[in-house]
Amino acid sequence: MSVTETSPQLYAALEAWLDRMRALNAASEATIAAYRRDVSGFLGFLAQHQGGAAGLGSLRDITQADMRAWMADARRQGLGPRSLARALSAVKTFFRWIGEREGFEPTAVLAARSPKYTRKLPRPLAEDAARAMIDRVEVQAKEDWVAARDVAVVTVLYGCGLRISEALGLKGADAPLPEVLRIRGKGDKERLVPVVPAAREAVQRYVALCPHPVEAEAPLFRGVRGGALNPRLVAKVMEQARLQLGLPSSATPHALRHSFATHLLSAGGDLRAIQELLGHASLSTTQAYTAVDTARLMDVYRNAHPKA
């Protein structure tokens, strides 16, 4: 949505709402960008649909037919059910805020039904596949220190359940890794993550071999030229390893985080504790791993039960 498609007052209101989401919800810049894109897209459609520039007054008169027309247009443009549900959620959040501020009830917007979609289940690696991945990653690089670095990264991902951005965000001051890491994740939320001995040892070996000085405020994991390690390089080395191991394309750096959660759950881990370790804002996100565990159990049942 360009500024010309909306009134200055509505544009200012959208920016004020985004500032509020930053301040009160600790939303990350990626989340803020998604909110802006989703709500701007809706307001841009509204301007075209109503044949004029969108303004604050036009928001009061939105009907259920307008909402249906927007969702139909989004689907025609190829937006999937999951993405449309996310966009509708952002639009509803914005309208709750602006309705309260401007003194109107956005009934038609809030009553709009989210499209149904099947939530994708996480696709973790089996325990033996996760170990094989770490072993295979080690033989991809020609230089010993690069091999040690790659092993350290994937071991931290699997052993601590970190996002790739969190692992590559570690600083030199974090080495040697303590028994418990303090991690800042999505939305700048802080959590404590225990560090398994294997991860600590892998990082120590990498630090001992790394030709670049490990400086307190510099990235812990370095590229060949000494800069911050690019996450694409981690993905690439895992791709090479998975092809050699015959693993599916879902065997990515993020799959190691899924594996961490699923294997903890299989071993009897508490769902709330796993939620805290992963830094999930909602328990429902973590509950997806129970579905994975149940699906695996049913596969074992069907394959092993004599009457199945």
Give the residue from 234, 253, 272 where a domain finishes: 253
Q: Are residues 134 and 64 in the same domain?
A: no
Q: Are residues 149 and 219 in the same domain?
A: yes
Closest CA to 13 of 72, 67, 60, 74: 60
Q: Are residues 140 and 235 in the same domain?
A: yes
pLDDT in the model for residue 72:
93
Residue 289 maps to a domain: no
Residue 191 maps to a domain: yes
Residue 183 maps to a domain: yes
Q: Are residues 133 and 248 in the same domain?
A: yes
Spatial separation of the C-alpha atoms in residues 26 and 116, rounded to whole Å: 28
Digit-coded pLDDT (tens) for 271-302: 566 666 666 555 555 555 554 454 454 454 35
Q: Are residues 248 and 132 in the same domain?
A: yes
pLDDT in the model for residue 285:
52
Letter string b/e over residues 40-67, b meaning 16 or more CB atoms within 10 A of that residue's CB = bbbbebbbebeeeebbbebbeebeeebb
Q: What share of the chain is helix, strand, coil (3-state, %, to 5)?
A: 65, 5, 30
What domain range is 233 assigned to? 127-253
**Cβ contacts of residue 63 below 8 Å, gap of 6+?**
108
3-state secondary structure of 18: helix
pLDDT in the model for residue 9:
83
**Residue 181, φ and ψ in degrees, nearest 5:** -95, 145
Residue 268 maps to a domain: no
Closest CA to 201 of 157, 151, 238: 151
Number of continuous H segments (helices) and E segments (strands) in the chain? 15, 2
Q: Determine the straight-line distance between the first and last CA of the chain, rounded to whole angstroms.
A: 56
Letter string b/e over residues 158-192, b meaning 16 or more CB atoms within 10 A of that residue's CB = bbbbbbbebbbbbebebbebeeebebebbeeeebe
Closest CA to 120 of 157, 92, 81: 81
Q: Are residues 136 and 242 in the same domain?
A: yes
Give the CATH number, domain containing residue 135. 1.10.443.10
Q: Which residues pair with 219 in a beta bridge?
A: 171
Residue 267 maps to a domain: no
% of the chain at pLDDT higher than 70:
78
Give the residue from 111, 141, 158 where a domain finishes: 111
Residue 12 maps to a domain: yes
Q: Are residues 34 and 137 in the same domain?
A: no
Residue 305 maps to a domain: no
Active site residues: 163, 186, 254, 257, 280, 289
Structure tokens at 90: 């952002």
Planar angle of CA 176, 178, 182, nearest 5 degrees? 115
Q: Are residues 98 and 152 in the same domain?
A: no
pLDDT in the model for residue 120:
63
Q: Are residues 134 and 107 in the same domain?
A: no
Structure tokens at 69: 């027309």
- Residue 161, sorted as left (phi over 0), alpha (psi -120 to 50) or beta, turns out to be left
Q: How many domains does the chain have?
A: 2
Q: Are residues 85 and 148 in the same domain?
A: no
Spatial separation of the C-alpha atoms in residues 105 and 85, rounded to whole Å: 21
Low-confidence ranges of the chain (pLDDT < 50): 1-4, 291-292, 294-295, 297-298, 300-301, 304-306, 308
Q: Which residues pair with 194 in a beta bridge?
A: 180
**Cβ contacts of residue 301 below 8 Å, gap of 6+?**
308
Q: Are residues 105 and 131 in the same domain?
A: no
Residue 204 maps to a domain: yes
Q: Are residues 8 and 63 in the same domain?
A: yes
